[in-house]
Amino acid sequence: MVERSQKEVWKLTPWLVLILLLGNFIMMAFDAREITSQQRIIRIWTQAAADFVQSPVTSITSGATGYFESIANLRSAQDENAQLKKQVEELRLEVESSKGLTEENQRLKSLLEFKEQSKLDVLPARIIGRDPSIWFDSSIVDRGSLDGVKLNMPVVANGALVGRVTAVSPLTAQVDLITRDKSGLGAVIGEIGASTVLGVVTGTSKRDLLEMKYVAGSTDVQVGQSVFTTGQDGIYPPGIKVGEIVQIVSGSATTPHQIFIQPAAKLGSIQEVGILLYEPPAKVPFEKELNPPAKERK
The pLDDT > 90 percentage for the chain reads 31
> Which range is least confidently modeled, 71-80, 82-91, 100-109, 130-139?
100-109
CA-CA-CA-CA torsion for 97, 98, 99, 104, nearest 10 degrees? 90
Domain 122-276 has CATH 2.40.10.340: yes
Summarize the confidence of residues 89-102 as an average pLDDT: 61
pLDDT digits (tens, 9 = 90+) for 230-244: 988 889 988 899 999
Q: What is the pLDDT of residue 195?
A: 81
Contact 120, 278 (CB under 8 A): yes
Summarize the confidence of residues 110-119 as an average pLDDT: 58
Q: How confident is the model at residue 174 (pLDDT cuts 50, 70, 90)?
A: very high
Residue 197 has pLDDT above 70, yes or no: yes
Residue 112 has pLDDT above 80, yes or no: no
Q: What is the pLDDT of residue 279?
A: 82
In the 8-state DSSP scheme, what is residue 289?
A: H
195: CB partners within 8 A, 6+ apart: 188, 189
Summarize the confidence of residues 249-258 as an average pLDDT: 90
The pLDDT > 70 percentage for the chain reads 61
Residue 132 has pLDDT above 60, yes or no: no
Q: What is the pLDDT of residue 1?
A: 47
Residue 61 has pLDDT above 50, yes or no: yes
Residue 161 has pLDDT above 90, yes or no: yes
> Which range is least confidently modeled, 50-59, 140-149, 277-286?
50-59
Q: What is the pLDDT of residue 228?
A: 93
Average pLDDT, the chain: 77
pLDDT digits (tens, 9 = 90+) for 212-223: 999 998 899 999
Q: What is the pLDDT of residue 156?
A: 92
Range picked from 85-94, 95-104, 132-141, 231-240 for highest mean pLDDT:
231-240
> Kind and range of the H or E element at 193?
none
pTM comes to: 0.59
Between CA 102 and CA 59 the distance in angstroms is 63
Beta bridge partners of 160: 157, 241
Summarize the confidence of residues 272-282 as an average pLDDT: 85
Furthest-apart CA atoms within the chain: distance in Å? 178
The residue ranking higher by pLDDT, 122 or 68, is 122
Q: What is the pLDDT of residue 205?
A: 75
Q: Among candidates 199, 178, 203, which has minimal Cα distance to 187?
A: 199
Summarize the confidence of residues 158-172 as an average pLDDT: 92
Between CA 106 and CA 112 the distance in angstroms is 10
